[in-house]
Amino acid sequence: MQANRFLIAALPVAAIAVAAAPGAYAVEYLSVGAALKLMFPDATDFAPVSLALTIEQLRDLDARIRPSGGARVPRVIEVRRDGREIGRVYLDGVIGKTELIDYATAIDADGRVRQVEILTYRESHGYEVRNPRWRQQFVGKGVTTPPALGDGIANISGATLSCRHLTDGVRRLLMLHAADAAART
């Protein structure tokens, strides 16, 4: 009987502990389809395309940007309005601190960042990179004005690795976009 009273008294405390306990932190903020429509609301067509770069060119690009990385190939979606290309969306992923962050970067026909969206965030900390004001810092950046943490892109305390890796990722995509555009001409 005494043990039952203890269990009954402990249940509310246990329920609070379970509710407050850390669990899986993966949060899907946007599907790819929703991101495409958000980034290019005036588009009439979205089509996956292949990059014109060779694996060797991708490796060379990665060596210049991320010395420890191998050639990663993002998914690329060509965006058209009435048959004319108006931009591309690159679907990529970077490691935050220990987990993958899936993100999309829209690059307009002039080769400048139009928008960055976080698709899925899996870390327990650093989710502040989803803040629209932080992501807005990338808009207008291009290969000649690349994003750099501490130089146009502010760091967020507690999200330093996510900020750094997303910034590096967007810079990499801008360089990839420029190299691919040159290879297509």
Closest to 116 measured CA to CA, from 93, 132, 94: 132
Q: In whole numbers, what is the pLDDT of the chain averaged over residues? A: 85
Question: What pLDDT, on a 0 to 100 scale, did the predictor assign at position 184?
Answer: 86
Mean pLDDT across 30-54: 95
| pLDDT at site 16 | 39
Predicted confidence at residue 84, as pLDDT, reads: 97
* DSSP string for 142-177: -SSS--EETBEE---TT-HHHHHHHHHHHHHHHHHH
pLDDT, one tens digit per residue, over 67-121 is: 444 457 899 999 999 999 999 999 999 988 888 999 999 999 999 999 999 999 9
Reported pTM? 0.83
